[in-house]
């Protein structure tokens, strides 16, 4: 049974709507993404969704009792109008009846958005009526799946996460490759509590742009940046992105980390400890490129900036809302975007303030590096080594970020997940196929974790491993969450059993030791310049690192 309804002429008379900000967010974003037709199948658990979509006044509502028929009818609407159509069903097996039509839509690339109401997670598998494992139940035939918990309707952080995930699902369904998406919404009683108050938690649309190769495609974005305080932030980047951002962009400071491999960027590790409440340094707009950042200080600072606009550049499956203000995703070549950006008339005074701040703080950092035995050792290795540099996560990457590396150094760190596992294996694999010498700087815990790498392959002649032996996980001694715990040494720092000398002899590496407390740079030179693969144990008194982290 299909009941056709026009856009409701009397909808504005219905001033009350469902008191659930997640339901209201779904209706708002669906309208923003161009949904005009909604096919609803009757059900109690889905009542809040049906009412919110109806009372929003943005949709032509259709009622179809049978969910299987409803989904195929929605498919016909999507194909005929070449626009997204949304489905709403109740909890339980109702969702499974969408399967055949969603499978058809998957292979026909039709933008169907299935929204299923669900019971709270605590009732799943508890023999409660109309419950089953709905999250991901149709993952084989949809392009994107989202599960929204009950608490997202009242918790601002969970709401923000749900808002981002719904944007991702709608964007994936409608743009680019197109196809069906599944949004599962957990709803608790009372289901139909009404309110005439504005939503407490406001939805935010995340625009996705898929331009062609022309700079004209960016005219609106570039125009929106006029006279704004714009900043570019680079994480781990691809060679194409490195090439694009190695040029100077007028009036825009480029912030980068060592693994960005962008030589003319402002090194974040040189100034992140000096970021403070200086409002003059706060940007209006940030443009991000590449992977995750090491600097927690920078991330926390930007998350505190009010009314910040975030534009992310590059090809990514996820809408990475790192700073809680993602506005636009631009999927294009970095070089094309930079060419368009060069024509932008940004706030030149902002760039000048950043230039002065960076020059001042870099000098402070250079003095700190030179005075501290740990960073002074790493800086000396940076001067002596010429070639590829790999750094493990934890303390090692944070120390290395403070040091100035040669412009021709290829710098790498496993920052996709930022774990300590596999750092030695990754560096060894890269060294085997590289035409340049490879230096790995790793912590003792990371080295112990991946000790199997030493026996995995014959060490290349120009492979060097510098192990920072600071008696365990030094980072845990210096972060607020663990530093004061009485369990610190037993459960966190945990000095590993790491007989480096014996391991080096067993696996064919030269072995050297260097004590930061009594520096002898000839040892470092022998480590780098000597013949054959080598392991250097750098002995560090933890008191040296307290100021660094």
- Per-residue pLDDT tens digits of the chain, which is 549 residues long: 344 343 433 444 457 888 889 999 999 999 999 999 999 999 988 989 999 999 999 999 999 999 999 999 999 999 999 999 999 999 999 999 999 999 999 999 999 999 999 999 888 888 887 888 999 999 999 999 999 999 988 889 999 999 999 999 999 898 767 999 999 999 988 888 888 878 878 888 888 877 665 555 677 888 888 889 999 999 989 888 888 888 778 889 999 999 999 988 899 989 988 888 788 999 999 999 988 899 989 999 999 999 999 999 888 777 888 998 999 888 888 888 888 887 777 788 999 999 999 999 999 999 999 999 999 999 999 999 999 999 999 889 999 999 988 877 889 999 888 888 999 999 999 999 998 999 999 999 899 999 999 998 999 999 999 999 887 777 788 777 887 888 888 878 788 888 999 999 999 999 999 999 898 999 999 999 999 999 999 998 877 777 776
**What does DSSP assign to residue 318?**
S
- Sheet containing 388-391, strands listed edge to edge, beginning at the edge strand earlier in sequence: 410-413, 388-391, 438-443, 463-469, 534-539, 510-515
pLDDT score, position 276 = 80
For residue 287, what are the β-bridge partners?
A: 232, 311
> Does the CA dihedral 262-268-269-271 come out positive or negative?
positive
Instruction: Compute how many other C-beta atoms are within 10 angstroms of the C-beta atom of residue 478.
Output: 17
Coil vs helix vs strand at 36: coil
Distance CA 137, CA 140 (A): 8
The H or E element that residue 160 is part of is helix 156-174
Distance CA 265, CA 248 (A): 9
Q: Is the peptide bond before 190 cis (omega within 30 degrees of 0)?
A: yes
Distance CA 23, CA 26 (A): 5
pLDDT score, position 13 = 41
**Smallest Cα–Cα separation from 492: which of 375, 377, 395, 392?**
395
Distance CA 161, CA 43 (A): 27
Distance CA 378, CA 405 (A): 10
Q: What share of the chain is helix, strand, coil (3-state, %, to 5)?
A: 40, 20, 40
The H or E element that residue 301 is part of is helix 296-304
The DSSP string of 436-502 is: S-EEEEEEHHHHHHTGGGGGTSPPPTTEEEEEEESSS-GGGGSSHHHHT-TTIIIIII------HHH
**Smallest Cα–Cα separation from 390: which of 410, 407, 405?**
410
**Smallest Cα–Cα separation from 254: which of 204, 289, 302, 297?**
289
Q: Is 401:429 a contact under the CB 8 Å cutoff?
A: no
pLDDT score, position 47 = 87
Distance CA 76, CA 96 (A): 19
């Amino acid at each position: 049974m299909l009941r056709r309804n026009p856009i409701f002429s009397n909808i504005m008379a219905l001033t009350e709507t469902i008191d659930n900000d997640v339901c209201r967010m779904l209706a708002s974003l669906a309208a923003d993404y161009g949904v005009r037709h909604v096919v609803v199948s009757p059900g109690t658990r889905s009542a809040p969704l049906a009412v919110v979509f109806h009372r929003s006044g943005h949709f032509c509502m259709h009622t179809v009792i049978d969910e299987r028929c409803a989904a195929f009818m929605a498919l016909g609407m999507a194909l005929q109008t070449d626009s997204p159509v949304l489905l709403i069903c109740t909890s339980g097996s109702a969702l499974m009846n969408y399967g055949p039509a969603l499978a058809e839509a998957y292979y026909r690339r039709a933008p169907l958005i299935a929204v299923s109401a669900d019971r709270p997670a605590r009732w799943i598998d508890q023999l409660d009526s109309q419950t089953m494992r709905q999250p991901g139940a149709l993952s084989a035939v949809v392009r994107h799946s989202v599960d929204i918990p009950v608490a997202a309707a009242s918790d601002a952080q969970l709401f923000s996460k749900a808002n981002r995930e719904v944007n991702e699902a709608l964007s994936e369904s409608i743009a680019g490759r197109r196809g069906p998406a599944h949004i599962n919404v957990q709803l608790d009683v009372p289901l139909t509590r009404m309110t005439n108050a504005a939503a407490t938690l406001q939805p935010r649309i995340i625009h996705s742009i898929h331009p062609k190769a022309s700079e004209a495609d960016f005219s609106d974005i570039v125009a929106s940046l006029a006279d704004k305080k714009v900043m570019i932030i680079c994480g781990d980047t691809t060679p194409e992105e490195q090439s694009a951002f190695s040029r100077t962009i007028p009036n825009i400071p480029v912030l980068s980390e060592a693994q960005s491999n962008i030589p003319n960027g402002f090194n974040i590790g040189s100034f992140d400890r000096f970021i403070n409440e200086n409002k003059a340094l706060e940007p209006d707009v940030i443009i991000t490129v590449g992977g995750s950042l090491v600097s927690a200080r920078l991330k926390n600072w930007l998350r505190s900036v009010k009314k910040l606009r975030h534009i992310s550049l590059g090809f990514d499956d996820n809408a990475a809302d790192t700073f809680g203000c993602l506005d636009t995703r631009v999927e294009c070549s970095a070089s094309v975007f930079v060419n368009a950006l060069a024509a932008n008339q940004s706030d030149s005074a902002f760039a000048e303030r950043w230039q002065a701040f960076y020059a001042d703080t870099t000098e402070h950092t250079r003095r700190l590096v030179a005075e501290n035995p740990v960073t002074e050792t790493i800086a000396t290795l940076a001067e002596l080594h010429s070639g590829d540099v790999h750094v493990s996560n934890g303390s090692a990457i944070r120390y290395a970020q403070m040091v100035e590396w040669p412009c021709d150094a290829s710098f790498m760190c496993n920052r996709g997940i930022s774990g300590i596992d596999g750092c030695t294996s990754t560096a060894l694999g890269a060294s085997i196929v590289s035409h340049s010498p490879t230096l790995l700087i790793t912590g003792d815990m990371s080295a112990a974790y991946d000790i199997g790498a030493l026996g995995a392959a014959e060490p290349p002649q120009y492979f060097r491993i510098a192990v920072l032996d600071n008696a365990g996980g030094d980072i845990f001694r210096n972060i607020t969450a663990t530093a004061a715990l009485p369990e610190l040494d037993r459960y966190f720092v945990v000095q590993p059993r790491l007989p480096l000398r014996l391991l080096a002899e067993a696996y064919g590496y030269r072995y050297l030791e260097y004590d930061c407390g009594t520096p002898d740079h000839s040892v470092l030179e022998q480590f780098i310049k000597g013949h054959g693969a080598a392991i250097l144990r750098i002995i560090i008194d933890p008191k040296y690192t307290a100021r660094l982290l």
